[in-house]
Amino acid sequence: MEGGLVSREVISFAILEGRYPTTMRITDLSRDDASGITQAANLLHESFRSRSSAWPDIGSAQNEVILSLGSPKISRVALDESGRVVGWVGAQPQYDGLVWEIHPLVVAPQSRRRGIGRALVRDVEALVGARGGLTLWLGSDDELGETSLANVDLYAGLPARLSGFRSGGEHPAPFYERLGFHLVGVLPDANGRGKPDIFFAKWIG
């Protein structure tokens, strides 16, 4: 323990022990890990190319990964038993470190529903909490009309629309809600007409 903060290795061990695949390990993604950066970028591009226009090619995905590596940001990867990247999460501080944004979170398709995404989020929560963060939030786009906030006039009766929020398809809203995140807002037309960015947050202080 240094400076009153628990080490990242201790945090990861506590998160993984007895709850997630014993062959999985979560660790920092570093600037000198060229293979890890490439794998994370490929994972980001392949996972989102059919769902979002955010990372249309490998170059844009690799830039996103590299941007996540600057201090004081958090960039963590989940590795399988062979050392292959099967998940990646980034987080960045806002509001003088009291608030942190998850951006992005991705798990390899063949490794989903094994607790890896949950483990990555819990890992970030522990790290952010150790740094004095109070709120963790994220934006989850709906570009495919998978929620009740897509393709509607969000400027009319917004409180009712938020309270009646529903999701379907492969939108990750249920995943985040199971982890204790709450719907806290929406940005209309963030990705084009009728394609909002939906905000979820939770208290971790």
Say if CB 135 and CB 184 are below 8 A apart.
no
- The tally of domains found in the chain comes to 1
How much is the pLDDT for 162?
A: 97
How many Cα atoms occupy the beta-carbon half-sphere of 99 within 13 Å?
8
> Which domain, by its residues, includes 109?
8-203
Q: What is the predicted pLDDT for the residue at 7?
A: 42
Amino acid 1: pLDDT = 32
Report the pLDDT value the prediction gives residue 22, as an integer from 0 to 100: 59
Q: What whole-number distance in Å separates Cα of residue 91 and Cα of residue 128? A: 9
pLDDT at res. 54:
78
How much is the pLDDT for 168?
A: 96
Q: In the 8-state DSSP scheme, what is residue 135?
A: E
Residue 8 pLDDT: 52
Q: What does the pLDDT read at residue 5?
A: 38
Task: Return the CATH number at 169.
Answer: 3.40.630.30
Q: What is the DSSP string of 53-111?
A: SS--SHHHHHHHHHHTTSTT-EEEEEE-TTS-EEEEEEEEEEGGGTEEEEEEEEE-GGG
Residue 173 lies in a domain: yes
In this predicted structure, what is the pLDDT of residue 174? 97
Task: Give me the residue label for tokens 């400027």.
Answer: 155
Residue 67 in any domain: the answer is yes
* 1 occurs within a structural domain: no
pLDDT per position as a tens digit, 180-201: 999 999 999 999 999 999 999 9
Rounded Cα gap, residues 145 and 152, in angstroms: 10
What is the distance between the alpha carbons of residues 29 and 97, in angstroms, rounded to a whole number?
Answer: 21
Question: Of 42, 30, 31, 32, which is closest to residue 86 (Cα–Cα)?
Answer: 42
pLDDT at 15: 47
Would you say residue 119 lies in a domain? yes
3 occurs within a structural domain: no
The answer as to whether 92 is a domain residue is yes
For residue 77, give Cα distances in angstroms to 20, 26, 31, 159: 15, 6, 13, 37
Amino acid 123: pLDDT: 97
Beta bridge partners of 192: 190
pLDDT digits (tens, 9 = 90+) for 74-100: 999 999 999 999 999 999 999 999 999
List the chain pLDDT tens, one digit each, 205 residues.
Answer: 333 333 454 445 444 444 555 578 999 999 999 999 999 999 999 887 777 777 889 899 999 999 999 889 999 999 999 999 999 999 999 999 999 999 999 999 888 889 999 999 999 999 999 999 999 999 999 999 999 999 999 999 999 999 999 999 999 999 999 999 999 999 999 999 999 999 999 999 7
Examine residue 2 and state whether it is found in any structural domain, yes or no: no
